[in-house]
Amino acid sequence: MNRSIRANVVLDYATTFLTEHLFTTENNYDHYVTEAKEYAAVQAHALDSDIAALTKQVGNKQAEYDRTKDAIRDNPQLARHYNLDEIEAELKAINKDLDKLVKNRKRLKQSVLTYSQYLELFESIGVNLRKTHDITVMDETVRKFFLNFTIKAIGAGKKQRYEISDTLKKPRSDFVESNNFERGRGDRTRTCDLTAPSRTR
């Protein structure tokens, strides 16, 4: 199957699935919160380590700058052997990187969505997936929910259609098996043509 056709079939299937299966129950949200907090904890640990390392670098570079400045002050003839501007620029660059990490660390505390924010995101995720033209967003969204797809072509020519089955990632697969999701209406009527493959579960 042509790659572009396969991509369109998968994208249409994923979009329709996500508009018909809304993972917006309170239990769905509880699972999200658990995952988000675990992810934030890992990120926080990594950021704390990087912040500590850069903080040490800032201290060392500041000490180097102060020593060099004092040496030039006490022995002006040494000035041609040192470049204070270069050391200062390096210090500013390290401080800039440190500030970014500190801001990212602070944002982590607010990274877990409230239930209302979660609903706003997950109720429209299928519709937004169909509207976007950003390949990266499409890929990341599909990979967030699905492990893989199996596509079977039926017929030929203009009458050709496709049956597609999926393997969902956990915990969404568990949610579907236990009927733990809200049923969406889908964003359009489905037909069995190229752009709207049949779904087999």
pLDDT at 13: 93
pLDDT at 154: 85
Q: CA-CA distance, 162 to 190, in Å (whole number)? A: 13
pLDDT at 192: 31
What does the block give as tokens for 184?
């969406």
What digits encode the pLDDT tens for the residues 109-167? 888 999 999 999 999 999 999 899 899 999 999 999 999 999 888 888 777 788 898 99
pLDDT at 199: 38
pLDDT at 36: 93
Q: Report helix angle 115-123 to 26-74, nearest 10.
A: 110
Q: CA-CA distance, 126 to 161, in Å (whole number)? A: 22
More confident: 83 or 201: 83
Q: Is residue 52 helix, strand or coil?
A: helix
C-alpha R_g of the chain: 27
Q: Summarize the confidence of residues 175-183 as an average pLDDT.
A: 95
- Reference 51, options 113, 95, 107; nearest CA is 95
Q: What is the largest CA-CA distance in the chain?
A: 89
Q: CA-CA distance, 59 to 66, in Å (whole number)? A: 10
Q: CA-CA distance, 73 to 58, in Å (whole number)? A: 22
More confident: 186 or 149: 149
Q: CA-CA distance, 92 to 98, in Å (whole number)? A: 10
Cβ(1)–Cβ(187) below 8 Å: no
Q: Summarize the confidence of residues 13-35 as an average pLDDT.
A: 95
For the ranges 13-22, 100-109, 157-166, which has the lowest average pLDDT?
Answer: 157-166
pLDDT at 1: 52
pLDDT at 110: 85
Q: Which single residue is written with the structure tokens 């401080």? A: 95
Secondary structure in 3-state letters for 60-84: HHHHHHHHHHHHHHHCHHHHHHCCH
pLDDT at 3: 62
Q: CA-CA distance, 111 to 37, in Å (whole number)? A: 9
pLDDT at 189: 35
Question: DSSP label at 182?
Answer: E
- Reference 86, options 118, 108, 64; nearest CA is 64
Residue type, 95: N
In angstroms, the Cα distances linking 59 to 98, 143, 146, 160, 168 are: 12, 42, 47, 67, 49
What digits encode the pLDDT tens for the residues 43-100? 999 999 999 999 999 999 999 999 999 999 999 998 888 999 999 999 999 999 999 9
pLDDT surpasses 60 at 16: yes
pLDDT at 186: 54
pLDDT at 101: 97
